[in-house]
Chains A and B, each alone.
Chain A
Amino acid sequence: MIVLKPKVDFAISVEAEITPELATMSVEEISKFQVYYGKEKVELGELFEISKEGDDAKLVLDGDFGKVKWVGARMEDGEIVVKGDIGDHCGAYMKGGKITVEGDAKDWLGAEMKGGEITVKGNARNYMGSAYWGDATGMSGGKITVEGNVFNYIGEKMSGGEMVIKGNAGDFIGTEMKGGTITIHGNCGFVGGDMKDGVIKVKGNFEVVPGFKRVEDGFEGDVNSGGKGKIIQL
Chain B
Amino acid sequence: MMLHIKNGVVIDPKNNVNAEKMDVFVKDGKIVDESDVKREDCKVIDASNKLVVAGGVDMHAHIAGSKINTGREMRPEEMRVVRNIAGKFRAAIGRVLLTSPAIGYEYSKMGYTTAFEAAQPPVGALHTHEELDAIPLVDKGALPVFGNWHLVFKYVAEKDIEKLKTFIAWALERTKGFGVKVVNPGGVEAWMYGGNCKSLDDSVPGFDVTPREIITSLIQATEELKLNHSVHLHCNNLGTPGNYQTTLETMKLAGKFSNDKRQVLHVTHVQFNSYAGSSWRDVGSGAAEIAKYVNSVDNITIDMGQPIFGHATAMTGDAPFQFTLHKLTGARWSNKDSEIEGGAGIVPLIYLPKNPIHALQWAIGLELGLLIDSDKVVLSTDYPNGGPFTEYPYIMAMLMSKKMREKELERVSPYVQKATNLAAIDNEKTLFELIHMTRSLPSRVLGLDNKGHLGIGADADIAIYDLNPENVDTSNDFETVYKTFKKAVYTIKGGEIVVKDGELVKDLWGTTYWVDATGKVSMEAIDADLDEYFANYYSLERSNYGVEEAWLRNATKLIMG
Contacts and interface: CB of A to CB of B under 8 A. Distances in A.
Bind each other? yes
Interface of A: 39, 132-135
B540 interface: no
Nearest to A41: B85
A135 B86 CA distance: 26
A132 B85 contact: no
Contacts, number: 13
B78 interface: yes
B77 A135 contact: yes
Interface string B65-87: 00000000011111010000110
A132 B79 CA distance: 11
A202 to B, nearest CB: 30
A80 B78 CA distance: 30
Interface string B297-323: 000000000000000000000000000
A39 B77 contact: no
A75 B20 CA distance: 54
User: For A133, A134, A135, which residue has the most chain B Cβ atoms within 10 angstroms?
Assistant: A134
User: For B74, B78, B80, B86, which residue has the most chain A Cβ atoms within 10 angstroms?
Assistant: B80
Interface extent on B, as a size class? under 10
Q: Interface of chain B, helix or strand or loop or mixed?
A: helix
B86 A133 contact: no
Contacts of B78: 134
Nearest to A134: B77
A133 B77 contact: yes
Given A39-B85, A132-B77, 7 more contacts: A39-B86, A132-B80, A133-B76, A133-B77, A134-B75, A134-B76, A135-B77
Nearest to B79: A134
Nearest to B86: A39
Nearest to B348: A134
Nearest to B332: A134
A132 B86 CA distance: 24
Contacts of B85: 39
Contacts of B77: 132-135
Contacts of B86: 39
Contacts of B75: 134
B218 to A, nearest CB: 38
Closest 10 CB pairs of A and B: A134-B77, A133-B76, A134-B76, A135-B77, A134-B75, A39-B85, A39-B86, A132-B77, A133-B77, A134-B78
13 contacts: A39-B85, A39-B86, A132-B76, A132-B77, A132-B80, A133-B76, A133-B77, A134-B74, A134-B75, A134-B76, A134-B77, A134-B78, A135-B77
A135 B78 CA distance: 10
Contacts of A132: 76-77, 80
